[in-house]
Amino acid sequence: MSMITVKTPREIELMRVAGRITAAARSVGREMVSPGVTTHEIDREIHKFIKKSGAVPSFLGYGGFPGSACISVNEEVIHGIPGPRTVNEGDIVSIDVGAYIGGYHGDCCGTFGAGEISEEDIKLIEVTRQSFFEGIKYAKVGCRISDISHAIQEYVESFGYSLVREYVGHGIGRNLHEAPEVPNYGDPGHGPRLVKGMTIAIEPMVIMGKRDVLVLDNDWTVVTVDGSKAAHYENTVLITDGEPEILTMAEDL
């Protein structure tokens, strides 16, 4: 990966713009999640929204990815390809989106239920989301990257869930993926020290069962080996002098 970049105030302003559009695109996706919709239909609305906002979908064509969003259902963890799969009542759907505008990217994700979902799926989604907030307690000047990683791991594993290790969060800015890597596991006190102006995407990927994953024959979609469900939550975060600023925050997410 590239070097860690520290953003100037001007760059941060541009990243806020990208972040707001990205967060709103996630909300568009969330609104679409309901029994009977296909993942292609969700992707189409997200694509339209991002373009209408004057931005470009970061994921479309990235490494050859064919969608504007990664839409991963149930046992799919990440990189679900939008297509004819129909979302059913009780499914959980992870919507990962990125938007590029003014030379900068935003990146965020959330998992949403279709219709009525089970108590255990509600809990999986909530623990995944909360683990992000446990992690960003350490997204502060002077902390190290693995302080975030460790906080996420401690929290998630205390519920008996597991975390994906093969895929990690990342720096973000002019490039969708920049240094440093931000793992969701590990001992504290390792990795780069956080400095003001760094922007990182923190994204716990949580599995209800065992942490083993595999990639489907489509070369993209990552699924759980044991078939258990997975949830994913992500925001783009700015390191400041004080509390971290979430650049992809929507009020209700």
Question: In the block, which residue shows the tokens 């990440």?
Answer: 78
CB nearer to Mg ion: pick between 93 and 201: 201
Binding mask 122-161 for Mg ion (x = CB under 5 A): ----------------------------------------
Residue type at position 142: G
Beta carbons of 194 and 225 less than 8 angstroms apart = no
Report, in Å, the least distance between residue 170 CB and Mg ion.
6
CB nearer to Mg ion: pick between 32 and 201: 201
Distances (CA, A) of 32 to 37, 40, 89, 115: 7, 11, 13, 11
The single residue among 43, 76, 107, 147 that binds Mg ion, judged by CB under 5 A, is 107
Report, in Å, the least distance between residue 62 CB and Mg ion.
11
Distance between CA atoms of residues 205 and 34, nearest Å: 22
Size of the site for Mg ion (CB under 5 A): 3
CB nearer to Mg ion: pick between 151 and 201: 201
Restricted to residues 202-241, the positions that interact with Mg ion (CB under 5 A) are 203
245 binding Mg ion? (CB under 5 A): no
- The CA R_g of the chain, rounded to the nearest whole Å, is 17
Binding mask 61-100 for Mg ion (x = CB under 5 A): ----------------------------------------
Report, in Å, the least distance between residue 98 CB and Mg ion.
7
Residue 159 structure tokens = 């519920």
The single residue among 201, 207, 223, 231 that binds Mg ion, judged by CB under 5 A, is 201
Burial 57-75, CB ≥16 within 10 A → b, else e: bbbbeeeebebbbbbbbbb
Report, in Å, the least distance between residue 177 CB and Mg ion.
7
Report, in Å, the least distance between residue 18 CB and Mg ion.
13
Query: 3-class SS at 49?
Result: helix
Beta carbons of 99 and 22 less than 8 angstroms apart = yes
Pairing relationship of beta strands 69-73 and 92-101 according to DSSP bridges = antiparallel
Report, in Å, the least distance between residue 205 CB and Mg ion.
10
Q: Which positions touch Mg ion (CB under 5 A)?
A: 107, 201, 203
